[in-house]
Amino acid sequence: MAFISNRKVCVFCENNEIAIDYKEYKYLRKFLTETGKIIPGHVTGVCAKHQRRLTNAVKRARNIALLPYTVDPRNT
């Protein structure tokens, strides 16, 4: 029986064309929970290098109100 790996591969390592930028806030939403928290890399499969850049981009987007700091799920 062939061994099938369940290990996720980093999206940004797979595709070099995807830029991690705070202006692409709609794409960054993929890496946030519904309450607005950043999902850890071991859950999404993003490598440490790109996770660092991703968190910086999310924090920049939050600073300029492109993304929320927190979302109350009761209001949505």
Partner 1 sequence: MNYYETLYIVHSALEAGRLKDIVLTVEKSLKENDGEVVATEIWGKKKLGYYIDKQKYGTYILIQFKSDGTKNNNFNIQMEHNPSILAYMTVKIEEDGIRQQTEDLDTQIAGKETKTSHASHHVVEKSSTEEEATTKVEETPAEETPVEVEESKEKPVAEESPSETEVASEEKVEE
Residues that bind partner 1 (CB under 8 A): 21-23, 60-69
Give the bridge partners for 32, in sequence order: 38
The C-alpha atoms of residue 41 and residue 31 are separated, in whole angstroms, by 9
Q: Which is nearer to partner 1, 45 or 60 (CB)?
A: 60
Q: For the CA atoms of 42, 21, 18, 71, what is the dihedral angle to 10 degrees?
A: 50
Helix (H) or strand (E) holding 38: none
**C-beta of 43: minimal distance to partner 1 in Å?**
22
Closer residue to partner 1, CB minimum distance, 42 or 59: 59
Rounded Cα distance between 18 and 12, Å, is 6
Minimum separation from the CB atom of position 65 to partner 1 (A): 4
Q: How far is the CB of 54 from partner 1 (least distance, A)?
A: 16
Residue 45 or 66: the one with the smaller Cβ distance to partner 1 is: 66
